[in-house]
Amino acid sequence: MRIGDLASKAGVTPRTIRYYESLGLLRSNRAGSSYRQYDVAEVARLRKIDALKRLGLSLGEIASVIELHSQDPSGVKGRRKVLGMLDAQLRETEEKITALEQFRNELKASIKRMQGGSAEATVKRSRPRE
């Protein structure tokens, strides 16, 4: 099938297909014509890429696992690798959350100190001079 047909079936643009092909995520055949020809299996491959993107994997990470999904019909190897990547993302996310919570606490403390200092200044200014 040609690129437009593949794009329609997979719900992506031809530009996306060309980009994915440039990254090695998809394969086309140009035997005998100047047009890209794609196998029906590329529709499933595009759907797998989309599913992995929705999990939060980058295209680079997807490139490292997509062949495993094609080579291993059981999908076990691909799932293991994806789980490892997701575990790493989870750890990184938890570290960021911890850092953000610490930053939030520091901001709250700074605001409280500044509001306290501002209230004291207001009280001092409102006292009559002797």
Dist. CA 90–CA 92, nearest whole Å: 5
Q: What is the reported pLDDT for 73?
A: 77
Give the domains, in start order, of the chain with CATH numbers. 3-126 (1.10.1660.10)
pTM of the prediction? 0.68
Task: Point out the least confidently predicted range of 75-79, 90-94, 102-106.
Answer: 75-79
* CB 6 within 8 Å of CB 42: yes
Could you read off the pLDDT of 16-69 as tens digits, one per residue?
999 999 999 998 887 676 788 898 889 999 999 999 999 989 999 999 888 887
- Kind and range of the H or E run holding 65: helix 59-71
Neighbours of 10 (CB within 10 A): 20
Dist. CA 111–CA 121, nearest whole Å: 15
